[in-house]
Structure 1
């Protein structure tokens, strides 16, 4: 049977990130980004066969952008496209796995939209456009939250009145599920362990960051909650704060909910602490030059990350290893070193040379000899979405 091709689509409100994934090839035959959709500056960027190109598509919406993309996809797939996998951020409690799209699935995604008002409506735009352009092609929704639906109730429930959960779905859902799933499976392969009987702590670190405890291939706890704001310090997100901060700011500064929400999501995290940037690379350079805000931001980021990983260990009976992934996790030896230094009670320690080697896509073990396993595993969410799409298609 020839290797199958899946087009992976990740839609934002004004963008489409895409990748053509061939199950037998490590690299994507085609990938790119359509951005600024709906404006006069809309543009389509793509990479194919090592070359890069762009096309202006003024005022294009999602459907027009996908229509421009179609000939490229068919060409890169040699006319053999087997399905489309759509990334959908929130599946609520309705979806525990990827699902082939039909009217009922689409209606349920729309019903869940209040839990992810910035993401699910955008995904539905892409789904609607793709179904019109590819009406006979199998299409699948892959949910960020689905991997975490294996969490036990004591991990996902908040200590709030029962009605808020039963009637309004207020609970912890978790995100980055495709990444946590992919790297824990890949980590088990790298370690020569059966995934179905292995136990991991994973740190997905980027502009959005989360940790996850994974036991026998299932999420048992994760740091993000009802929204992606809960948990770690992130690029511009605060992570955990005192729940009474909202009323404190409202009473003392007269801030409304919209202003507080914007501050916590857009002006906080590494950016808020440093006063200069949400980019870890910029902060590491500034720290070397003596910038106190950059140094503080990195220290807080790593300490809070260490605390989160330690708390996730409550969900494990044993530890087969810690995995770092995501843009920061894969490329910052400093963050890995500082974080592991906070976890001495777990017996963790790094080999400095191995830690320094694992950057720019280099994977491998970085633990010191005689200490528990620590791995750097580059994530590949597009490939995981493609794999789950293929599994749904049979």
Structure 2
């Protein structure tokens, strides 16, 4: 079975085609600058050279036509025809409270995603563009699945997801903490279970997805118990350009002092804060680290804030769960910055964490334990693979639906007799 995974943005579209028998990527690519005459299309088959084209792509439907054409192309394609694609899995950022699992994309599910646009105005409309386009091109009955970033966190207890605001705001507008990066946190926690060779039942795990966007999740018995992001991805850690936690009173104060609109202050918090805002240099941890070693005070402060917030959340989750058995580092920074991991773990010796410097600094294997055998808390680097997780979820949902349809047909046949 072959599954096509789609991540549709407002002006971009990423794709990967998986052979699920081997969980192998047959081809992947990216369409950038959709809506412009200078759109960039990149296609990389597993065997063969990368193809890059620049030209006019004015809408997502046109972009998807090009994706399907290249996947079936005689020279650079990896399948003979579109019929070889068994299902399409779409990444969807926000499912609200409606979805605690991936969902088959029927009209009702699409309607709920549309309803949740107000919760993710920058993301859900873009995902819907991809969904609409595929339905037009492949037909409304073609198997498609939505995999939600928020779904994994729907197991959080009320005390973890509620804000201490008037209850009427939750009842009217569903203002609460939803959490994000759920697909990644689910993937690496399942992978930890495979590494340990046992269920996570009875285990207390902290998963650190640290990249330009960053979140930490407390995972108890294999389920999300608490997470750092909130109603939006702005809450929590210091990130590349996002502020993370701040006093809410800062917003009206800055608006008054700087004569900013709501849109302008929202842009400031999401696009001009975090590492970039503090350092005045960059949102890239590699550039921040290099500048810090050169003595740049802004970069040094940005790095220290970044580390402090990660340690703060890990410590809080240790208190919430009454201990930690394992810590996972994943995401671009979590997987690649041995310095970030070292500074974080060296500050957690009170939990009994004992870092193995050689394992932490090693470049391979990518997936490895980085604490000593004596360490009371085991820490791991586990590369995330959200696309594979989406493909797995898509395969599972489509398979379960087909089994249900067969049972329904068998029942109807028996009744008719």
Q: Where on the TM-score scale, by shorter chain, does this alignment land: which range?
A: over 0.9
TM-score when normalising by structure 1: 0.96
Shift of 1:175: 0.2
Q: Is 1:166 matched with 2:171? A: yes
Q: Is 1:221 matched with 2:221? A: no
Q: Is 1:31 matched with 2:25? A: no
Residues 189, 195 of structure 1: 8 Å contact kept: no
Shift of 1:192: 2.4
**Runs (5+) with no aligned partner, structure 1:** none
Cα deviation, 1:182-212, whole Å, max 9, x if unaligned, reads 0011112112232344331000011100000
Looking at structure 2, the residues matched to 182 and 111 of structure 1 have their Cα atoms a distance apart, in angstroms, of 27
Q: Which of residues 121, 125, 128 is equivalent to 2:129? A: 125
Q: Which is worse superposed, 132-141 or 98-107? A: 132-141
Q: Which is worse superposed, 370-379 or 306-315? A: 306-315
1:14-53 alignment, distance < 5 Å:
14-25=11-22, 27-48=24-45, 49=47, 51-53=49-51
| Matched residue SS, 2:38 | coil
- Structure label with greater radius of gyration: 2
Q: Is 1:145 matched with 2:147? A: no
Residues 234, 242 of structure 2: 8 Å contact kept: yes
Looking at structure 1, the residues matched to 269 and 133 of structure 2 have their Cα atoms a distance apart, in angstroms, of 33
Call closer, same or farther: CA 1:217–1:78 in 2, change over 3 Å.
Answer: farther
Residues 208, 235 of structure 1: 8 Å contact kept: yes
**Runs (5+) with no aligned partner, structure 2:** 400-417
1:200-239 alignment, distance < 5 Å:
200-239=205-244
Looking at structure 1, the residues matched to 71 and 322 of structure 2 have their Cα atoms a distance apart, in angstroms, of 46
Residues 145, 394 of structure 2: 8 Å contact kept: yes
1:1-394 alignment, distance < 5 Å:
4-25=1-22, 27-48=24-45, 49=47, 51-74=49-72, 75-79=77-81, 80-135=84-139, 136-358=141-363, 362-371=366-375, 372-394=377-399
Cα deviation, 1:97-137, whole Å, max 9, x if unaligned, reads 11101111111100110000000000110000011111142
Shift of 1:26: 5.1
Q: Which is worse superposed, 181-190 or 129-138? A: 129-138
Looking at structure 2, the residues matched to 64 and 251 of structure 1 have their Cα atoms a distance apart, in angstroms, of 45
Residues 57, 63 of structure 2: 8 Å contact kept: no
Q: Which is worse superposed, 368-377 or 203-212? A: 368-377
Looking at structure 2, the residues matched to 196 and 13 of structure 1 have their Cα atoms a distance apart, in angstroms, of 39
Shift of 1:285: 1.3
Cα deviation, 1:299-348, whole Å, max 9, x if unaligned, reads 11011111011112234254221000000000000000111122222111
Looking at structure 2, the residues matched to 343 and 61 of structure 1 have their Cα atoms a distance apart, in angstroms, of 49
Residues 43, 70 of structure 2: 8 Å contact kept: no
Looking at structure 1, the residues matched to 107 and 374 of structure 2 have their Cα atoms a distance apart, in angstroms, of 54
Q: Which is worse superposed, 188-197 or 245-254? A: 188-197
Cα deviation, 1:262-314, whole Å, max 9, x if unaligned, reads 11111110101111000011111112222221121111101111101111223
Shift of 1:250: 2.3
Q: After the TM superposition, which parts of structure 1 deviate over 6 Å for at least 4 consecutive aligned residues?
A: none
2:409 equivalent in structure 1:
none
Looking at structure 2, the residues matched to 337 and 189 of structure 1 have their Cα atoms a distance apart, in angstroms, of 25
| Matched residue SS, 2:66 | helix
Residues 21, 382 of structure 1: 8 Å contact kept: no
Shift of 1:50: 5.0
| Matched residue SS, 1:51 | coil
Give the superposed CA RMSD: 1.5
TM-score when normalising by structure 2: 0.90
Residues 211, 223 of structure 1: 8 Å contact kept: yes
Looking at structure 2, the residues matched to 274 and 265 of structure 1 have their Cα atoms a distance apart, in angstroms, of 15
| Matched residue SS, 2:171 | helix
Q: Which is worse superposed, 204-213 or 73-82? A: 73-82
